[in-house]
């Protein structure tokens, strides 16, 4: 059974760096073709794709946010970490991680999400 | 980035209705189009991948079609559990989502 679970701080002050962690089970990021993405959703708004990391450590970032994002993996811990620098209240959102399926490039299994508020 | 535009933004329908949601890409994405369902307070759920392939476990009343720039998600006979928000997402290039279509009970 594939599961993913996000964790991170509930509150971050503006300009600080936000770090969210995705801990997964049921698959390995050492396996060829495996990928994990991060997606966020501000309250009452649409989904926004943020970043993806591949089994071979290739990375892809949102065009609009790439200067502020860093994605990394720790395969020994089955974790993927996303950092967002220089946070702003507009970064307030629920942050989801999801497994990226090779079929159609869809995100087929999602975590429950972790809610982060950026406020002073 | 490729822009994804869904229509309508919201829709009211009744149980048993046939419903169609449209997604248009700003350039051709061939069939790299996926559909998700999201209920309040829950994570999105994959319904359709590759424009028309039904994800395992998803009821057959859901179907997808289209290629190039124009795509549709159809629910053949609405059930009470289908009232939710639906998103399209392209994976042809750097992924982007549509703005969502909220499906409400009439």
The residue among B94, B98, B100, B102 with the most chain A CBs within 10 A of its CB, best to mutate, is B94
- Judge: B95–A37 Cβ closer than 8 Å, yes or no: yes
- Judge: A104–B34 Cβ closer than 8 Å, yes or no: yes
Residue A80 and residue A53: Cα distance in Å, rounded?
8
Cβ neighbours of residue B24 closer than 8 Å, sequence gap 6 or more: B4, B5, B6, B7, B69, B70, B71
The mean pLDDT value for A12-32 works out to: 96
Give the pLDDT confidence score for residue A105 in this predicted structure.
85
Does residue A90 have a pLDDT over 90? yes
- Judge: B45–A52 Cβ closer than 8 Å, yes or no: no
Give the pLDDT confidence score for residue A102 in this predicted structure.
80
Give the pLDDT confidence score for residue B6 in this predicted structure.
98
Residue B4 and residue A20: Cα distance in Å, rounded?
27
- Judge: B34–A111 Cβ closer than 8 Å, yes or no: no
The residue among A3, A22, A24, A46 with the most chain B CBs within 10 A of its CB, best to mutate, is A46
Q: Are B20 and B73 contacting, i.e. CB atoms less than 8 angstroms apart?
A: yes
The reply to whether B101 touches chain A by the CB within 8 Å rule is no
Structure confidence by residue, pLDDT tens digits, A27-82: 999 999 999 999 999 999 999 999 999 999 999 999 999 999 999 999 999 999 99
Q: How many angstroms separate the CA of residue A107 from the nearest CA in chain B?
A: 7
- Judge: B94–A62 Cβ closer than 8 Å, yes or no: yes
Structure confidence by residue, pLDDT tens digits, B30-39: 999 999 999 9
DSSP A106-120: -EEEE---EEEEE--
Give the pLDDT confidence score for residue B100 in this predicted structure.
98
- Judge: A110–B55 Cβ closer than 8 Å, yes or no: no
Does residue A104 have a pLDDT over 80? no
Mean pLDDT for all residues in chain B: 97
Structure confidence by residue, pLDDT tens digits, B4-43: 999 999 999 999 999 999 999 999 999 999 999 999 999 9
SS3 A35: strand
- Judge: B89–A49 Cβ closer than 8 Å, yes or no: yes
Give the pLDDT confidence score for residue B34 in this predicted structure.
98
A residues 44..73 contacting B (CB < 8 A)? 46-49, 52, 60-64
Judging by DSSP bridges, how do beta strands B19-25 and B70-75 pair with one another? antiparallel
């Amino acid at each position: 059974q594939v599961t993913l679970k996000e964790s991170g701080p509930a509150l971050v002050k503006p300009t600080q760096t936000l770090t969210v962690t995705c801990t997964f089970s049921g698959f390995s990021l050492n396996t060829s073709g495996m990928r994990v993405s991060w997606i966020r959703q501000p309250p009452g708004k649409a989904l926004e794709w943020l970043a993806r990391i591949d089994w071979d450590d290739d990375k892809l970032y949102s065009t609009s946010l790439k200067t502020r994002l860093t994605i990394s993996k720790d395969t020994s811990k089955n974790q993927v970490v996303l950092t967002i620098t220089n946070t702003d209240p507009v970064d307030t959102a629920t942050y989801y991680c999801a497994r990226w399926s090779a079929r159609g490039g869809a995100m087929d299994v999602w975590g429950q999400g972790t809610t982060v508020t950026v406020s002073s | 980035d490729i822009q994804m535009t869904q229509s309508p933004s919201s829709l009211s329908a009744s149980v048993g209705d046939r419903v169609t949601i449209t997604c248009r890409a700003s350039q051709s994405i061939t069939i790299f189009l996926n559909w998700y369902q999201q209920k309040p307070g829950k994570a999105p759920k994959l319904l359709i991948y590759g424009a028309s392939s039904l994800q395992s476990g998803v009821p057959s009343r859901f179907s997808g079609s289209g290629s190039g720039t124009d795509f549709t998600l159809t629910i053949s006979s609405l059930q009470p559990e289908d009232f939710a928000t639906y998103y399209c997402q392209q994976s042809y290039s750097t992924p982007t989502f549509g703005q969502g279509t909220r499906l409400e009970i009439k």
